[in-house]
Structure 1
Amino acid sequence: RVVMPPNKSNEYMVVANIADAIFADKEESPEGWQKALEYFSKRSVQMVSVTCTEKGYDVNIPQIDVDLSNGINSPKHIMAKIAVFVYHRYKNIGSPIALVSMDNCAENGLKFKNAVMTFAKEWIKRGFVETDFLKYLDDKVTFPSTMIDRITPRPSDKVQKMLENIGIDDMNIITTEKGTVIAPFVNTEHVSYLVIEDKFPNGRPDLEKVGVIFCDNPDDVARYEKMKVGACLNPNQTTLAIFGCLFNINYIYEVMSDPLCSELVYRQSYEESLPVVEHPGKIDPKEFLREVLKERLPNPNIPDTPARIITDTSQKVGVRYGNTIIAHGNKAKELKYIPFAIAGWCRYLMGIDDNGNLMNLNPTAKPPFNRWSPDHRLKELVNQVSQIKFGEPDTTKDKLHPILSDEGMFGVDLYKVGLGFKVERYFKDMISKIGAVREALESVLYEKGDLEGFCK
């Protein structure tokens, strides 16, 4: 593990506490599968943590039909596998256990529980498992909510070379068939937070000793999560990523060094997001935000990219922007910087940067989709803006309406809160000519002649 603080005094740690690594697949690795079942049969196991990204908890997809039909035989989806492992524990020892999501998404404990329950309930209906299995899940299995915070970009070529130069071999970065980038090392920042709902029916380690914050209920965890994901960190990352892509800037810290971009996230944070944040308890939101804007996002040692951050933005805008809009209530129509960022995202969907050139954020994808980072709604969204012509703002017409009125995406219809047409106006300004995005950004920041700048 390479920890990379702003002063470039990197810290190297060999993570040597992993006792075993197995490939748990019944068909492709029977031995690994059996070993996983054995681990779940041990009474000493108190908790199992899972990191599979937010997509991993999505069971509203056709791919799970095979697992629903096959029952506990040869599951493929990760949630189906977890359900089988827990069923095996139920059948063999019946001991309680905590299943802990370590993924960076809202209500991760609830998402985890709902996914496992989906398989359990359907298998009960089809006669694959006993009805009492559901009672076991309700009474003896918990799914604590968590808030995880540590910026950990994809493995960097620069870090690989750095490790090789100090004599550490076999650090090759691998891209899987599905496009996942993995390596024997992680490069991460110097700051980390972990908040967990204290709901462990079989006991737990004394994680307080290493700085973990425990909460009594999921609502307490949610306040930390909303502070981070909905206000102080993730919205700023998304805004920087949007304009980093449009300005063809390679790294987040470089976007943060752009005076206009940094001014935008400062104003977005202090004028629009922070005022509606509820203090979570043990982390002060103002200090957390200061650390984000002054230390973490400008960190030149973190190789994080706009292309990575902007991935799957359609799944994120509701939490990162929508919740703040909703929190402002009747005053939402007065917001300026969040709707400007949303307009920037719509402008990004055109796949053309501020210099008028086609973007190339995902070189391994087939054209034209190499122009954007992956997003599960990419084709649909790109199609909705496809008739809008760069340099001809009037072609916008009502083309953005299906996007901006999508309550499923934003959590709110932006037209109903008085922001839809404002976003459209910003968007039209951004497509008028080469350099229009930067010109529009400067205009929205300094329209009142305030040349001092908030972040100064």
Structure 2
Amino acid sequence: MQMNAASIVNQKAEWAKLGVKLPKFDHAAMTAATKEHPIWVHFGAGNIFRGFIAALQQRLLNEGLADRGIIAADTFDYDIIDKIYTPFDNLTMNVTLNPDGTTSREIIGSVAEGLRADSSDAAMMARFKSIFTDPGLQMISFTITEKGYALYRPDGSLMPVVQADIDEGPAHARHAMSMVAALLLERFHAGAYPLAVVSMDNCSHNGEKLQSSVMTVAKAWLEKGYVGQDFIDYLSDESKIAFPWSMIDKITPRPHKIVEEQLVADGIENMEPIVTSKNTFIAAFVNAERPQYLVVEDKFPNGRPALEKAGVYMTDRETVNKTERMKVTTCLNPLHTAMSVYGCMLGYTLICDEMKDADIVALIKRLGYVEGLPVVVDPKIMSPKAFIDEVVEQRLPNPFMPDAP
């Protein structure tokens, strides 16, 4: 069996025998509609996107709540597009690692197009300009890790690539933040159309970090005479360009050998992981835990997909911040850190094995329930106790999680 656009149409029975769920929508029609009038571009084409965010849009497509998918772009590792997206018609085998040690499979088909965000590739940049000048584009989102927003070196000077982008102007942008600023400039020139620019990376105040980096580049271009004050005003107007904050929580570890072996044994071809030229260890499948959370500030000046109907918490900035504080300061990170320290001291090599140690389990339960809950920041949209329950009972003991102390 080969995972491609033809097989999910012509070999439905064969996929069903292998226990693989297929997209319930017309994949070809979705692809054509998305390419003609895109609504969503995502930068960062790796596992958290494929195993979580793309699956959210698939749910909306399956339920008839959307008719267009996502355009995926990578600003760093172009091999991901060339070797993981293109050969499989932008499909992903999503393998859920259930807490009881079983797995479930679904082919995610919500990605209509995979692009290399490479300013030296004229054809690719022409495509990006076409997308960004479409008035109907609603959002661009990011999972490029926190370091993807960084412009400065540890000594406080600009990274050489960023300095070059500033000196040479929008036409030669290479850094991810410079490229975003350059594409927003194209959108401004086309009609100053509104857009939401959404970081979905796992870091505090992610929208603020993204906004600061984009504005730093844009203001530097203003000083160099590449852009006018009207472009800065456009980026600064939340009714035009919004930078919502978000909180994301889902573990999508590197491809697991057991999952790979199961797929290969079932005759699903080309599932073996590859190592890209940028040393990314990746495969045509994504394995991920079942629990997942995405909380997003509901600030989308040009409309948005009905993400709340796919399980996303759409709320205000204060609640996003409270949810992030709940996770990081009380309900997950302190437990994970404490058991990691003692796990190393006791010679454990896996978090899931630590969860068989009664003393460690007692420790993290005390940290979470006895010491944490009385002082937790309660975001109200989810229960802190239920969050800890899931961490202790499902997430940390999961035998598939290659999580080392």
Matches within 5 A, 1:323-334: none
Report the residue type matching 1:141 in the other structure.
I
Work out which of the residue numbers 191, 204, 212 in structure 2 matches 1:106.
204
Aligned with 1:20: secondary structure?
Answer: strand
Q: In angstroms, what is the RMSD of aligned CA positions?
A: 1.7
Q: Which residue of 2 aligns with 1:232?
A: 331
Question: Out of 164, 171, 179, which is 1:66 matched to?
Answer: 164
| CA apart distance, 1:38 | 1.3
**Is residue 134 of structure 1 aligned with residue 134 of structure 2?**
no
What CA distance in whole angstroms lies between the structure 1 residues aligned with 2:230 and 2:334? 43
CA contact (8 A) 2:275 2:281 kept: yes
CA contact (8 A) 2:242 2:299 kept: yes
Counterpart position of 2:188:
90
- The amino acid across from 2:113 in the alignment is D
Amino acid across the alignment from 1:46: Q
- The gaps in structure 1 that reach 5 residues or longer are 307-456
Counting aligned pairs with the same residue, the percent is 41
Aligned length: 304
Partner of 1:278: 377
- Which residue matches 1:171? 271
1:193, CA displacement in angstroms?
1.4
1:20 corresponds in structure 2 to 113
Report the structure number with the largest CA radius of gyration: 1
> Do the aligned residues in 1 keep the contact of 2:355 with 2:361 (CA within 8 Å)?
yes
> Match for 1:208: what amino acid?
E
Give the corresponding residue for 2:175: 77
Alignment equivalent of 1:8, drawn from 101, 106, 109: 101
Any conservation in 1 of the 2:101–2:398 contact (CA below 8 Å)?
A: no
Query: Does the residue aligned with 1:186 lie in a helix, a strand or coil?
Result: strand
Instruction: Give distance in 1, aligned partners of 2:393 and 2:244.
Output: 32
Looking at structure 1, the residues matched to 124 and 343 of structure 2 have their Cα atoms a distance apart, in angstroms, of 43
Instruction: State how far apart, in whole Å, the 1-side matches of 2:281 and 2:330 are.
Output: 28
Q: Distance in 2 between matches of 1:71 and 1:244?
A: 50
In 2: Cα distance, 1:243 partner to 1:75 partner: 46
Correspondence list, 1:130-169, <5 A: 130-139=228-237, 140-169=240-269
Q: Distance in 2 between matches of 1:70 and 1:273?
A: 51
1-structure distance, mates of 2:172, 2:343: 44
> 1:96 Cα shift?
0.3
The aligned runs of 1:361-400 (5 Å cut-off) are none
Checking the alignment, whether the CA contact within 8 Å between 2:95 and 2:104 is kept in structure 1 is: yes
1:184 corresponds to: 284
> Is contact 1:49–1:99 with CA below 8 Å preserved after alignment?
yes
The aligned amino acid for 2:369 is: Y
Question: 1 or 2, which has the higher strand percentage?
Answer: 2
How far apart are residue 242 of structure 1 and its match? 3.6
Which stretches in structure 2 are left out of the alignment for 5+ residues? 1-93
RCO comparison, higher one (Cα < 8 Å, 6+) = 2
Change (3 A) 1:86 1:167: same
Separation in 1, partners of 2:183, 2:208: 19
**Deviation (angstroms), 1:272:** 3.3
Cα distance in 2, alignment partners of residues 5 and 73 from structure 1: 47
Q: Tell me the TM-score normalized by structure 2.
A: 0.71
Contact 2:351 2:404 in 1 (8 A): yes
> Quick check: 2:369–2:385 contact (8 Å CA) kept in 1?
no
Partner of 2:126 in structure 1?
A: 34
TM-score scaled by length of structure 1: 0.64
The Cα offsets for residues 131-155 of structure 1, whole Å up to 9 and x where unpaired, read as 1111111111111111111121122
Q: Which residue of structure 2 aligns with residue 205 of structure 1?
A: 305
Alignment of 1:424-435 (within 5 A): none
1:429-451 deviation digits (Å, cap 9, x = unpaired): xxxxxxxxxxxxxxxxxxxxxxx
The Cα offsets for residues 74-102 of structure 1, whole Å up to 9 and x where unpaired, read as: 22211111111111111112110001111
